[in-house]
Chain A
Amino acid sequence: MDSETQSGTYLEVQNLVKWFGDDPAVDNISFGIPKGAFLTLLGPSGCGKTTTLMSIAGLHSIDSGRIRVGDVVYTSPKEGLFLPPEKRDIGMVFQSYAIWPHMTVTQNVAYPLEIRKVPQSEIDDRVADVLELVGLTDMAEKMATQLSGGQQQRASLARAIVAQPRLLLFDEPLSNLDLKLREQMRVELKRIQNEVGITSIYVTHDQSEALVMSDEIIVMSKGHIEQRGGPLEIYSRPVNEYVSNFIGVANLIKGRVTQVTEPGRGTVQITDHGKDIQVACNLGPGISEGSDAVLSVRPENVHAERENGDGASLEGEVLQAIFLGSHVDCRVQWGDFEWKVIAHPRAHLKAGEKVYLRLDPEHTLAVQP
């Protein structure tokens, strides 16, 4: 068995760079994951997620960097190493499912085992097992073209895991399914990955998908890594404006750090019509006294009140209040800025009313612009 199971990093991508023409699609990305983990690459379309995945898969060459799984170097241009894709022992699920239309479901799923010259009796057993795992036992003898989108997705997953590869790669596998099926498949995909325990990299541009499914998330933009962390960490402690904007909904206000009271805490000065206001908050990494910062506050952490409790609140006017049953979705005009606020239905806010916004210092975060 691979020796570095203990040492931690199973898949390691170091300083990956890939150019297409004059533009770097992936610009110096490094990350590593332990065996059995489920890592998600999250970012908007065109940020280099597929390129990263293809580099790991060996479906294209890379310009520089090094990719290693276990003690096998997959790609390293500097050392002149390039392992062809078929020798990498990777299962991959494509966006289009890529189920071969000229074969039955069984033939599709058995293919990786046939290539590996597994004896036929064992192939039969393993294909039956994996089809059961993905819930396609009844479809085994159907032609691939007779399957629905969701079923093709399952077949594709079965084909990717049947040979128990070292690595599973998913390239936006759910984006072609309708919403309902997508939400159902998220859970199921995660269950199956858990069951087979194969180290997985999952690519998506859908933040809620990433939050639901992942052990860890890497947020990418324009070929860079912006932040890496668990779903809760990414959501509650984004490191910069980009991440807080991309994950969930946030109120983002430009300001400047005036004081660091203790490590990780301080005050940020924001300006409303020439009037400076000091806001106590948590400080994100890389934030020091005097530096420009962006205040990031989630709508559920802004409290709208009728009275100006401690006098430090922001005075605004309700633009819109939409009752959504469990909560009220409000827009509050404050100077030029429009706050997104989630209020309790019992607050009975109405459009045109004057309100005071109180920011909870524990959940107010100053991040890098």
Chain B
Amino acid sequence: MSTETLPRTVERSLWANRLRSLLTQENIVTIIVSLIVGAAVILPLITLFISSFKVLDPLGWDTTWGFGNYVTLFTDRIIPKAFVNTLIISSGSTILATVLGVSLAWINARTNCPGRDYLEPYNLIPFFLSPFIGAIAWHNLGEPQTGLLNVWAREIFGFEGALMNIDTIWGVVWVTGIFFAPLVYLFVVGSLRRMDPSLEDSARTTGAGLVRTTMTVTLPLVMPGILSGAIIVFVTSAGEFGVPFKLSAPYGWETLTTQIFSKAVGDDANHFLGATMAMSLGIITVFLIWIQQRYIAPRSFTTVTGKGFRPNVLDLGQWRWVAFGYNLSFIFVAVILPIACLIIVSLHPVWTGKIVPEAMTFNNYVKTLFFWREDSIQAATNGIVNSLILAFGGSTIAMVMALVVSYMIHRTKGFGVRLLDFLSVVPIGFPGIVLAMGVLVTYIQTPIYATLWILMLAYITRFFPYGQRNISAIMMAISEELDQSSRMAGASWFTTLWRITIPLLKPGIFAGWILLFIIFLRELSISIILFSTGTETLSVGVYYLTNFENEPLTAALSMAQTVVLLIAIYVFRRVAGREALTA
């Protein structure tokens, strides 16, 4: 046996020995990744914090230190109103999304509503699509003059004036609410499904009716899930940029995100004031997410009894057709109607609210997608290429990081693991636009500014926790002894990772990868802060078209994005299966 090659107690110095035993593959990789994660998460937040105390002088040449920006938040003509509008939108869409999400989850998990197994995937589709594109579609449906629904109301039903006006703050609540309903759905449907049916049965044997049982037993049991979902929707709506940008800001309802945007790139750009607004928004959202993670999420496990139940569902009798109709209506309003509208609009050279079959053309697709043609629109075609690069490259890098971070959190016991665990939750607390503001002020004077790298950095920092959760869930379920026995078999740490750990985690890695792919492909609120000419993304392309071109071109690019997303969703479901998302 080759004992000669192994170290003996030779004269090598103690410290050399120590160093040697510390420089293992495992330590080197984990230290590098910890430093990267630490820097990526902490740097922008610290810079954001510091920048918020830099006050730009009236000429815009110089800055002084002070609380001036925070004072401006209250004295500005628009910002205080933007705060209020954000609050209204977040509250409104939280209520709408919660009512929709809980009722749909209940119908799907606890009742004998017909065809519920077929309905579920469609209920979740809005979760994956872009709310910005939802807003564009709804604009074309509910705009007073040219909105399809309004036109039909006038032509078919002889309605006077407009049936609805979507271009208001309430339109924002409507679109945000229906798009985020699946978030609440996902938070409650799992526990509803696993709930011990005897809890409901015993309530009913005491004579409580169906409604009463549901209200007093079922819903309180899943309350932690409902609260979690509601908080997440509140925070996500507060950070949502695309919907208010399209539907309310142009008509006088500014929100914090649209204001941050105008301070980041607008004519009256003031990065320091933008940073201050981002800080304020971030503090609120971080506080809410902290409450959710610390107090609410842990409780959601105590209310449901373990596994192994096949809950017998409630027989709704004839009402089951009402439930069915309700669910179908949601899918119609949230998925079918917007997509149909986009298709119709995208086929017209100009959009006046009337469908003109003989004028229909694919020209809009040609101009927005065929990047090799002279007459293509650069912002749109750049967006396609850049978003594909970001989606493929970004989710790959993010999943590698997620893998190492999960590995550290679950497989190593060393110092720094708790910090890393913390760091990989922090980004969830900050809306994309807040983090993007931090990244902007951090890197604006470095060479990566105005490149795709800065976008990729921000994407990964903000979203790798989602990938990490997918991996962690599986890693917790597989025994550490599987790794250890590979080391004992003589394989190095890296070989073990490659041949044992990664193959076992494959489903989680792939599900996480596709999820990030979807998120990156539709990302708007980070991109809108960090893009520059040449580094437009798909959603920025849509932004450009809706702002500087016309609705049919916008609809065409929106449809292209939607189709890619729908394919990705299909793959995601095939790979990840039904339980992958349900908490």
Contacts and interface: CB of A to CB of B under 8 A. Distances in A.
Contacts of A179: none
A212 interface: no
B481 A79 contact: no
Interface string A95-114: 11010111000000001100
B7 A83 contact: yes
Interface string A39-70: 00000000000000000011110000000001
Nearest to B18: A80
Interface stretch (B57-65, B227-235, B489-497): B489-497
A89 B6 CA distance: 11
Contacts of B6: 72, 83, 87
B464 to A, nearest CB: 25
Nearest to B483: A98
B156 interface: no
Contacts of A88: 488
Contacts of B21: 80-82
Contacts of B202: none
Contacts of A90: 488
B8 to A, nearest CB: 6
A159 interface: yes
B490 A115 contact: yes
A81 B481 contact: no
Given A80-B14, A81-B17, A84-B24, A98 B485 contact: yes
Nearest to B500: A100
B316 to A, nearest CB: 41
Given A79-B14, A102-B503, A102-B504, A71 B490 contact: no
Contacts of B504: 100-102
Nearest to B25: A84
B489 A73 contact: no
A96 B17 CA distance: 34
Interface string B476-492: 00010110111111111
Interface string A168-207: 0100000000000000000000000000000000000000
Interface string B428-439: 000000000000
Given A71-B3, A72-B6, A79-B17, A96 B481 contact: yes
- A60, A73, A85: residue with the most chain B Cβ atoms closer than 10 Å: A85
Given A73-B8, A116-B490, A80 B15 contact: yes
B15 to A, nearest CB: 7
B1 interface: yes
B9 interface: yes
A149 to B, nearest CB: 14
Interface string A112-138: 100110000000000000000000000
A90 B486 CA distance: 11
A92 B485 CA distance: 7
Contact of B495 (A60, A115, A169): A115
- Most chain-B CB neighbours within 10 Å: which of A79, A91, A159? A79
B488 A92 contact: yes
Nearest to A73: B9
A155 to B, nearest CB: 11
B495 A159 contact: no
Contact of B3 (A60, A72, A163): A72
A240 interface: no
Contact of A163 (B479, B490, B493, B495): B490
Contacts of B20: 80
Nearest to A115: B490
Nearest to B22: A82
Contacts of A160: 488
A2 interface: yes
Contacts of A94: 481, 484-485
Nearest to A159: B489
B410 to A, nearest CB: 15
A237 interface: no
Given A96-B479, A166-B1, A86 B490 contact: yes
A72 B15 contact: no
Is chain B's binding surface mostly helix, strand, loop or mixed? helix
Range for the number of chain B residues in contact with chain A: 20 to 34
Contacts of A100: 482, 485-486, 500, 504
Given A79-B17, A84-B24, A102-B504, A2 B3 contact: yes
Given A92-B485, A166-B1, A79 B9 contact: yes
Contacts of A102: 503-504
B490 A98 contact: no
Contacts of A89: 1, 490
Contacts of A79: 9, 14, 17
Contacts of B3: 2, 70-72
Contact of A98 (B9, B16, B17, B479): B479
Nearest to B24: A84
Nearest to A74: B6
A104 to B, nearest CB: 13
Contacts of A115: 489-491, 495
B487 to A, nearest CB: 4
Given A79-B9, A81-B21, A166-B1, A98 B489 contact: no
Contact of B490 (A72, A95, A112): A112
Contacts of B495: 115
Interface in B9-44: 9, 14-21, 24
Residue of B6, B481, B485, B492 most packed against chain A (CB within 10 A): B485
B558 to A, nearest CB: 41
A267 to B, nearest CB: 52
A79 B17 CA distance: 7
A251 interface: no
A214 interface: no
A83 B499 CA distance: 22
A72 B485 contact: no
A244 interface: no
Contacts of B413: 60
A82 B1 CA distance: 20
A199 to B, nearest CB: 13
B9 A86 contact: no
B354 to A, nearest CB: 59
Given A79-B14, A83-B6, A102-B503, A57 B488 contact: yes
B17 A80 contact: yes
A156 B486 CA distance: 11
A76 interface: yes
B8 A72 contact: yes
Given A60-B413, A100-B504, A159-B485, 12 more contacts: A2-B1, A57-B484, A71-B8, A72-B7, A72-B8, A81-B9, A83-B7, A84-B24, A87-B490, A95-B481, A115-B491, A116-B490
17 contacts: A2-B1, A59-B488, A71-B3, A72-B3, A81-B17, A83-B7, A86-B489, A87-B490, A91-B488, A91-B489, A94-B484, A96-B479, A100-B482, A102-B504, A111-B486, A112-B490, A156-B485
Interface of B: 1, 3, 6-9, 14-21, 24, 413, 479, 481-482, 484-493, 495, 499-500, 503-504
